[in-house]
Amino acid sequence: MPGLQMMITDAGLDAIVNAQQGGTDTVLIEALGLTNTPFVMAPTLTALPGEFRRIDTVGGQAVAENIIHVVAYDPDPISYDVTGLGLFDGDGTLIAVHSAEADPILSKAELATSLFAIDITLAADLAAVIEFGEPLFNNPPATETVPGVVEISDNDEADAGIDDATAMSPKKVRRVLDAAVALIDAAIAALTAATNNSIATLTGRTITGAGLASGGGDLSADRQINVVAASQAQARTGTASDVALTPEALGPIMKSLGTSGYATIPGADPANTVMIQWGRYTAATNASTPVSFPTSFSSPAYSVVAGGTQDTNNDAQDNWPAVDPSSITANGFSIINANQQNDPGCYLAIGRIDLS
């Protein structure tokens, strides 16, 4: 139930506030007064109207800045109803009062030993300066900082998960955890089903080779696409249409590109690979000029063809520069020039080289 609203009396405020020092004095509550006479609460009260009983077995403690928990023990064999309360200090000063309009707030049977447990809300944050004597018993409501009586959550409170004033029993904790596990299991089952559907869709697809590629199949297992490489023999014969040409199939190729250079032509026999070499020269006047190949053949070149420019003198005895066939070796040749001036020219040589 919500705390009973109590009013601090002027006498109680005087007891609490130390006007001379501008501070507060701790008030020790030692008795609880009872009345069954409804009255109008007023700060000017110095006595509890209609008080019929005062209980000195009182304990309590502050559970919030403006809330105190009060307990009282009454073992006497009497019966009564209570509509009003008063808190008294050790000097008998009425510190605070509460009055209900009509209905009792406490009831005691004659054969019963009564234990009153009341949460009292003060009009100001003064709970910290109100203390009690040694309590015979004390059952305050439990908070995060105060040990005390705690209410167990019902199922709705446990499921909602927003009530911070009740405690979860192991059974309630298991109920919430079981519900969470059920949600997680359902989510996992849905994800598993969706994943299996996706896998089934993928395994229904196929990947197969085409053109030079072969192999493949559906995606229910690992598949391999194969492309067969041509052998050197197939590359040299140039007739296979179902294999792929690779640098290895072409065999070793040598080349050097420039105004003077060379290149090999793969053949059936690497030891007798055809090589073409080319370059430029300047034939000296009326002389035989040696010319070196960019690289050496494995044997004397098969043929060398050269060309140059005609002498501008236009003398009948002058001739174009020409290759001396007897000078052709694996490393070069000689060019004969019968003109009356130096003649530039170009040549082309064919031979063999051993690349085995």
Taking all residues of the chain, what is their mean pLDDT, rounded to a whole number? 82
Give 281's pLDDT tier (boundaries 50, 70, 90): very high
Residue 41: what pLDDT?
A: 92
Residue 253: what pLDDT?
A: 74
Give 80's pLDDT tier (boundaries 50, 70, 90): very high
To the question of pTM greater than 0.75 for the whole model, the response is no
Residue 82: what pLDDT?
A: 92
The position carrying tokens 């008080």 is: 51
Residue 140: what pLDDT?
A: 58
Residue 125: what pLDDT?
A: 67
| Cα–Cα distance measured from residue 95 to residue 317, given in angstroms and rounded to the nearest whole number | 150
Residue 208: what pLDDT?
A: 86
Tell me the mean pLDDT in the region 60-78. Answer: 80
Residue 23: what pLDDT?
A: 58
Residue 311: what pLDDT?
A: 54
Q: Which residues contact 131 (CB under 8 A, 6 or more apart)?
A: 26, 27, 28, 29
Domains of the chain, start order: 4-141 (no CATH), 150-174 (no CATH), 206-249 (no CATH), 255-353 (2.60.40.3940)
pLDDT tens per residue, range 141-157 = 666 666 666 778 888 88
| Cα–Cα distance measured from residue 213 to residue 291, given in angstroms and rounded to the nearest whole number | 50
